Amino acid sequence: MFEPSLYLNGKYISYFRIKPRPFSPPKQINDRATAIPCQENVFHGVNLTASPQAHTTDPLLADIEEWLMATTNYKGPAFDSDELREIKAKVVNACLILDEQGITDGFGHVSARVPEHSALITIAQVSPGCAALNRLILLDFDGNYLGGAQPAPYEWPIHACIMQARPDVGSVCHTHSKWSALFSIVKKSLRPAHMYGRFLPVNGAPVYAHAGLITSIERGHSLAESLRDGAAILLRAHGDAVVGASVEQAILRTVQLAFLGELAHMAAVHGGADYLTEAELATFAGDRSFPARPWEYFLDRLGDRRV
């Protein structure tokens, strides 16, 4: 398949390929640009890696964005609307929290569902520790660009496909935590040996066995199927994906998953852990409550970085 392209000022600008759709003819955006859908593809968005702020200043690119948004059925709030202000702040703070906690490095991302719509907000291709309000992107669950910075993170299907399969999920975290990576490759499961593991099954976090990045909808759906109704899954030789009903819960679980991994590693040095039984796990029911207390603590640790 050819990559779909935008013919702009005599040059082709590549788009990311997403999924088949009925072929459509070239689209004249204005007298300076023509969008050419090569083969049968949905456009994801203009590749603005060289100039990530360009879309906010160039009138031509604004026309392109308007045309791209017309390809989706999204009827929710616009990226710059007041309705999304709180959600965007939470996503930025969540990314900064994972950085401050030492769980992410240059990679990883956090997303939040747009309530009552098949769309999400996450960071564009930027390190979590560099997250900012002007570096967020709004996408629908097919990966269509709906507003904000560009380009989208390569592994946006992790977020979109899990949310599509799980209406109960309001937020997804993806990290390359060394503890998740460790237990994704060793012969031992990451089992709960502490009350923080109450969101894990008694036999341990499942492992998505297919190595490689989750950059396609097909792999995203495969990951969601492996996660099922769970709260966390390890990705072989990669990291993890952790979900929650809210950004706050997803962040708390992600931090606690790293704690559990480190604890299990230390226990192995001392002969192994006496893991919790299913009955013992059931006594720790606090994870069902809104995790306001640790969220306040995490925000306080951010200091001046907090949004």
Q: Provide the token pair at 152.
A: 């989208």
- What does the domain layout of the chain look like in residue ranges? 5-69, 82-305
Question: Rounded distance, CA 197 to CA 276, Å?
Answer: 9
Q: How many CB atoms lie within 10 A of CB 170?
A: 22
Question: Rounded distance, CA 249 to CA 235, Å?
Answer: 20
Which residue carries 């029911």 as its tokens?
285
Q: Note if the pTM is more than 0.85.
A: no
Question: Rounded distance, CA 223 to CA 226, Å?
Answer: 5
Q: What is the pLDDT along the chain (307 residues), one digit of tens a residue?
A: 333 344 333 333 444 333 333 334 445 444 444 444 433 333 334 443 333 344 445 555 555 556 555 557 899 999 999 999 999 999 999 999 999 999 999 999 999 999 999 999 999 999 999 999 999 999 999 999 999 999 999 999 999 999 999 999 999 999 999 999 999 999 999 999 999 999 999 999 999 999 999 999 999 999 999 999 999 999 999 999 999 999 999 999 999 999 999 999 999 999 999 999 999 998 887 656 567 889 999 999 999 999 9
Question: Rounded distance, CA 66 to CA 64, Å?
Answer: 5
CA-angle at 182, arms to 205 and 271, nearest 5°: 85
Write the CATH number of the domain with boundaries 82-305. Answer: 3.40.225.10
Q: Which of 166, 164, 224, 230 is nearest to 192 (CA)?
A: 230
Question: Rounded distance, CA 13 to CA 73, Å?
Answer: 24
Radius of gyration of the chain measured on its C-alpha atoms = 20
Distance of CA 132 to the CA centre of its chain: 15
The CA–CA distances, whole Å, from 180 to 18, 36, 93, 128, 212 equal: 28, 42, 22, 17, 15
Number of residues written out for the chain? 307
Residue 110, classed as helix, strand or coil, is strand
